[in-house]
Amino acid sequence: MKHKIEEGFLDFFKGLEDPRSVRNRKHIIGEILLTTLCAAVCGAEGWQDVEDFGKAKVDYLRQFFPFKHGIPSDDTFRRFFRALNPEQFQSLFRDWVRSFQPNLDQGVIAIDGKSSRHTFDQDKKMLHMISAYASESGLVLAQEKVDEKSNEITAIPKILEWLDLRGSLVTIDAMGCQVEITQTIISKEGDYIFSLKGNQGSLKEDVQAYMQDQNVIRELAPSTECDKGHGRLETRVCWVTHDVEWLHELHPKWTTIHSLIRIDSTREMNTKITKESRYYISSRALTSEKALRSIRDHWSIENKLHWVLDMSFGDDQSRIRKENAPQCMAIIRHIALNLLQSQKSAMKRQSIKRLRKMGGWSDDILSAIISQTFS
């Protein structure tokens, strides 16, 4: 088992620089990382949890490292991750993901941001991370912290540069609807779908006016889907047109647009009915069915990543907030979630929440989770 783990996750983190002074190194990096990862997989949320998990599982952990000085204390974990270089940690995370990304289907890559609401500290703002998420496989591909004095627009290009976008369809909400971002995606042989709001001059108004024209809509073949659950019925109707030459003339910076998309949503709950129309642009000549499915896939980053991080990993309630620790622990959670997601695919009918419990109960299941190599 040691061989499998070292050639998987830990092998990619051997080059991590130790931030501690030599005289304070009772525990090697591998012992700290492995204990923290296993604890995060099995439900730990804070440093005391990590220490308690390690003490309960010390015999199991000693299969992989000697732990000559026992399990590190909660203060050791705390100090280590506060001082750890998050940029290097992120870089090694990307190397790890890149090692198995060629085996992933080139589908929708959703990019969106999430705040960890309890990571603020005095005058320091809460941690806000942008993540790239492979909707079909359910894996986090990359993440980038949004600088306190900046916004998502500056972080998104960094993530795009790290990713292999060939054949992928990148979906971003209206914040990322920027010409420069489209150019990066196209240059990397990917395509995009962007939500439209009022941040691009008259682009949204022109698309909206055209897609509301009944003469245009009458000529298009819409696709419809319905979702029913929790007392709610939602119906979505999608129209797509490839008639975009007029738009290129009005907006010459947007000549990469090849599809205009309109989605009408009707939500019925009890006796209340709400309706909404949303508009999108895409560089790919999509069918209405493909556009509807891809836009729905984008929201999997909310439902299957952000929601899971909050509800299963307690991300929003985490009190880890000093120095580099919040960012480093966000990366640990992404690593744990990727490992769990891969194992979940091999174990039918198991939720992430239940699989975490099973990892804590069974050493064999925990070993199966942490030795995923995505080959």
Q: Domain holding 221: CATH number?
A: 3.90.350.10
Residues 108, 47, single domain; the answer is no
Domain boundary among 257, 277, 307: 307
Q: Which residues of the chain have pLDDT under 50?
A: 1-7, 118-120, 149, 373-375
Residues 34, 112, single domain; the answer is no
**The two three-digit tokens of residue 348, written as one number:** 């039918």
**The two three-digit tokens of residue 237, written as one number:** 């109707």
Residues 260, 344, single domain; the answer is no
Predicted pLDDT of residue 145:
78
* Closest by Cα among 159, 181, 149, 150 to 112: 159
Predicted pLDDT of residue 2:
45
List the domain range (segments joined by +) for residue 335.
2-86+325-370
**The two three-digit tokens of residue 173, written as one number:** 């909400």
Secondary structure percentages of the chain, helix, strand, coil, to 5: 45, 20, 35
Predicted pLDDT of residue 375:
36
Predicted pLDDT of residue 6:
42
Residues 200 and 217: their CA atoms lie apart, in Å, by: 24
* Closest by Cα among 272, 91, 291, 273 to 191: 291
Residues 48, 184, single domain; the answer is no
Contacts of 138 (CB under 8 A, 6+ apart): 300, 304, 305, 341, 344, 345
Residue 295 to residues 161, 232, 238, 252, Cα–Cα distance (Å): 22, 20, 10, 25
- pTM of this structure: 0.83
Sign of CA dihedral 112, 115, 116, 117: negative
Q: What is the DSSP string of 158-176?
A: HHHHHS--TT-EEEE-GGG
| Number of other residues whose CB lies within 10 A of the CB of residue 100 | 17
Q: pLDDT (tens digit, 9 = 90+) per residue, 191-219?
A: 999 999 876 779 999 999 999 999 999 99
Predicted pLDDT of residue 3:
40
Q: Which amino acid is at 341?
A: Q
Q: pLDDT (tens digit, 9 = 90+) per residue, 257-278?
A: 999 999 999 988 888 899 999 9
In a domain, 204, yes or no: yes
Predicted pLDDT of residue 373:
46
Residues 224, 109, single domain; the answer is yes
Q: Total structural domains in the chain? A: 2
User: The sheet that has 169-172: what strands, in order across it?
Assistant: 139-145, 127-134, 108-116, 169-172, 191-195, 272-282, 259-269, 232-241, 223-229
In a domain, 94, yes or no: no
**The two three-digit tokens of residue 20, written as one number:** 């501690």
Predicted pLDDT of residue 103:
52
Residues 82, 115, single domain; the answer is no
H/E run at residue 205: helix 203-211
| Number of other residues whose CB lies within 10 A of the CB of residue 62 | 13
In a domain, 93, yes or no: no
On the 0-12 / 13-18 / 19+ scale of CB atoms within 10 A, 346 is: exposed
